[in-house]
């Protein structure tokens, strides 16, 4: 899930929001201000209903952010780098740049989110009960009660043992520890996620047929998203098993064409040998050839024609700090999920000794490698012997993004 606008940083971790957050905030506010609160406490002003509805929806999104921040904080303590947190319509995503190294680490990372939501729900409920004994408006207390209930529901819902829920990660950690086979654990939790998604979609469809209306359609949407996410996670685990033992240097495009940061957009447009480009992005470098970031065709297209002669690539590029960078000796399989969740879906390959740019990797490069490896092995996941299959299963991994569905 790509962020649309930044919200700042928490403990150095970039936090952003997808545009769909505005949709869920609006829907929650509308539901509370026009439905739940007036029905429970008639006679208040419209401003009171709308104000408390908006405050409750913002508090709930803050709870989602705390849930994802807990995943991120525990991941860091267990040696897993965190690329950022993104909130969206159906929850949040903590993007982890690498995988948990042990079942215990995965257990701790996965369990941090539901535990945080449960504690928050309990604290807000306790606050509502305390305020109930004071001369405080029952309308405000009910709004707090709704926030508490949603956090507790979030904790319970995410504890379900199926991908992509946190409970699925917990089950994955247990199966990995019990069997020593990470790929088998991923296949099991992905199958459980698909089954649960289809069940929700079926219940939603039946609800629509019986007159449930919007609530039934909501279940269908959530079910479909769960099926899609679980299927993608299972497929990605298989891809990473195919790529086991393959280094980034074997899949990258070496010595990519670059452009100086001081060049104007107009200069690039006039002088670029587009026929030699292998990707839709271009590494941007300084005069010494050191990589500074990436610029994409999309970013160039957004610059108005009249501004192109005086707009430099430095002005519009995605800086290196926000670009995926890897060493050429890193495993290619570990790079795949990072590419799929990044803004530009490309990674710059740097020499670990000198820091110089030596290549660029896109999802198409990895797909090409997987195609050749699959052809060479007659299917891709087969190993020369049983032990090879077991070792490959242990070391393969699914996408380590921790997603919090609503």
Least confident of 52-66, 91-105, 116-130: 91-105
pLDDT at 1: 54
CA atoms within 13 A on the CB side of 83: 25
How many Å apart are CA 70 and CA 402, to the nearest integer? 11
- Distances in Å between the Cα of 190 and the Cα atoms of 16, 167, 194, 197 are 27, 12, 6, 10
The residues pairing with 37 across neighbouring beta strands, listed in sequence order, are none
Q: Quick one: which H or E segment has residue 292?
A: strand 291-296
Percent of the chain with pLDDT over 90: 27
For the residues 15-27, what does the mean pLDDT come to?
Answer: 87
Give the span between the Cα atoms of 226 and 178, in whole angstroms.
26
Evaluated on CA atoms 250, 252, 254, 255, the torsion sign reads: negative
State residue 233's pLDDT score.
78
Whether the upstream peptide bond of residue 330 has omega within 30° of 0, thus cis, is: no
Would you call 68 a catalytic residue per the annotation?
Answer: yes
349's enclosing H/E stretch is strand 347-350
Residue labelled with tokens 């680490």:
105
Sorted by sequence, the CB contacts under 8 Å of residue 47 that are 6+ apart come out as: none
What is the chain's mean pLDDT, rounded? 82
For residue 71 the two structure tokens come to 């995943």
> In this predicted structure, what is the pLDDT of residue 378?
59
Closest-CA residue to 190 (of 220, 229, 154): 229
Domain boundaries, the chain: 1-159, 168-242+364-400, 248-361
Q: What's the first-to-final CA gap in the chain, in angstroms?
A: 15
Say how many C-beta atoms besides its own lie within 10 A of residue 101's C-beta. 12
Examine the pLDDT at 289 and tell me if it is beyond 70: yes
* pLDDT at residue 390 greater than cutoff 50: no
Q: 263 CB contacts (<8 Å, ≥6 apart)?
A: 312, 313
Give residue for tokens 């991923």. Answer: 186
Whole-model pTM: value is 0.70
For residues 53 and 143, the answer to whether their CB atoms sit within 8 Å is yes
Question: Above 90 in pLDDT, residue 271?
Answer: no
Among 342, 400, 335, 399, residue whose Cα is nearest residue 369: 335
DSSP 32: I
Helix (H, G, I), strand (E, B) or coil at 82: strand
Residue scoring higher pLDDT (23 or 380): 23
CA–CA separation, 239 and 232 (whole Å): 10
* 28 closest CA partner among 71, 61, 74: 61
CB distance 164 to 189 below 8 Å: no
The one catalytic residue among 3, 68, 106, 397: 68
Using one digit for the tens of pLDDT, what is the confidence trace for 182-198? 878 888 888 888 999 89
Count of helix runs (H) and strand runs (E) in the chain? 14, 13
In whole angstroms, what is the distance from residue 166 CA to residue 406 CA?
Answer: 12
**Residue 399's pLDDT band (cuts 50, 70, 90):** very low
**Residue ranges in 133-213 assigned as alpha helix (H):** 138-158, 166-179, 182-209
**CA-based nearest residue to 72, from 81, 64, 63:** 81
Which strand (E) or helix (H) includes residue 61? helix 46-77
Domain 248-361 class?
Answer: alpha beta
Averaged pLDDT for residues 47-65: 93
């Amino acid at each position: 899930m790509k962020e649309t606008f930044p919200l700042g940083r928490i403990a150095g971790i970039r936090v952003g929001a997808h545009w769909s957050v505005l949709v869920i905030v609006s829907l929650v506010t509308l539901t509370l201000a026009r439905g739940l609160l007036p029905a429970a406490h008639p006679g208040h002003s419209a401003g009171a209903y709308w104000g408390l509805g908006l405050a409750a929806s913002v508090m709930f999104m803050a709870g989602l952010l705390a849930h994802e921040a807990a995943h991120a904080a525990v991941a860091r303590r267990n040696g897993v780098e965190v690329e950022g947190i993104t909130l969206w319509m159906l929850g949040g995503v903590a993007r982890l740049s690498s995988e948990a190294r042990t079942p215990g680490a995965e257990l701790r990372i996965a369990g941090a989110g539901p535990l945080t939501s449960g504690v928050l729900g309990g604290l807000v409920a306790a606050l509502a009960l305390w305020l109930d004994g004071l001369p405080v408006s029952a309308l405000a207390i009910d709004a707090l009660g709704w926030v508490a209930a949603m956090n507790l529901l979030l904790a319970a819902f995410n504890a379900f043992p199926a991908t992509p829920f946190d409970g699925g990660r917990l089950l994955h950690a247990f199966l990995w520890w019990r069997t020593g086979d990470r790929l088998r654990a991923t296949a099991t939790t992905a199958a459980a996620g698909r089954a649960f998604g289809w069940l929700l979609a079926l219940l939603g469809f039946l609800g629509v047929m019986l007159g449930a209306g919007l609530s039934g359609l909501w279940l269908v949407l959530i079910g479909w998203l769960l099926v899609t996410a679980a299927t993608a996670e299972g497929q990605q685990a298989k891809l990473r098993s195919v790529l086991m033992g393959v280094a980034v240097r074997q899949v990258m495009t070496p010595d990519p064409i670059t452009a100086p940061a001081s060049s104007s957009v107009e200069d690039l447009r006039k002088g670029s040998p587009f026929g030699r480009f292998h990707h839709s992005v271009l590494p941007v470098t300084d005069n010494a050839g050191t990589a500074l970031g990436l610029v994409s065709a999309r970013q160039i297209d957004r610059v108005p024609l009249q501004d192109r002669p005086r707009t430099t690539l430095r002005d519009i590029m995605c800086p290196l700090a926000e670009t995926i960078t890897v060493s050429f000796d890193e495993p290619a399989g570990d790079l795949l999920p990072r590419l799929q969740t990044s803004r530009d879906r490309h990674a710059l390959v740097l020499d670990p000794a000198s820091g110089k740019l030596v290549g660029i990797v896109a999802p198409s490069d990895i797909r090409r490698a997987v195609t050749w490896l699959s052809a060479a092995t007659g299917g891709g996941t087969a190993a020369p012997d049983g032990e090879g299959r077991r070792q490959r299963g242990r070391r393969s991994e699914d996408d380590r993004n921790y997603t919090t569905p609503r």
